[in-house]
Amino acid sequence: MPRRKCSSVDQSFGKNLLKYRKLCDYTQQEVADLLNLNRTTYTKYETGVSEPSYDILKKIAAIYGVDINSILGEENFKPKVEDSHIKINNLSMDEKELVGIYRILSGDEKHEFLQYAREIKVKKNNDF
């Protein structure tokens, strides 16, 4: 993988991005959409042509459910949240998008998001 002259990121970085993206069954376009980036920009991260900012790196780690050190190759892949009954690659495109969005939210935003989802669920149950 090409490496920029002043890069401090290990060469395995791009390979790790690819590995985690495939493990989560995302396309490059899906990840780019979650990050509000062009697909070509994300592709450059996987190929080592460029490196994401720290903020983007944090969002990527959140989407894949790992910490930043895992992506940088400093430890093995260990999802933060694992549901043995529903793997992410069994989810529909919409469900994967929701998981990706949820993972990049702040704590307060996650709370608000869940509260809104619960309100919809209650309303739906009351409609029956």
Q: Considering the chain, what percentage of its residues have pLDDT values greater than 90?
A: 36
Cβ burial, residue 76 (10 Å; 0-12/13-18/19+) = exposed
**Quick check: is 5 in a domain?**
no
For the segment 73-91, what is each residue's pLDDT rounded down to a tens digit? 765 545 554 443 345 556 7
What is the extent of the structural domain holding 22?
12-127
**Quick check: is 93 in a domain?**
yes
**Quick check: is 18 in a domain?**
yes
Number of domains in the chain: 1
* Residues 62/24, Cβ–Cβ less than 8 Å: no
User: What tokens does 42 get?
Assistant: 């994300």
Cβ burial, residue 31 (10 Å; 0-12/13-18/19+) = buried
Q: How many residues are present in the chain?
A: 128
Say if pTM beats, i.e. exceeds, 0.75.
Answer: no
Residue 96 is given by DSSP the state H
**Quick check: is 7 in a domain?**
no
**Quick check: is 87 in a domain?**
yes
**Quick check: is 79 in a domain?**
yes
Separation in Å, CA 116 to CA 64, 92, 94, 107, 128: 24, 21, 17, 14, 19
Residue 103 is given by DSSP the state H
**Quick check: is 6 in a domain?**
no
pLDDT average, residue stretch 58-82: 74
CATH number at residue 73: 1.10.260.40
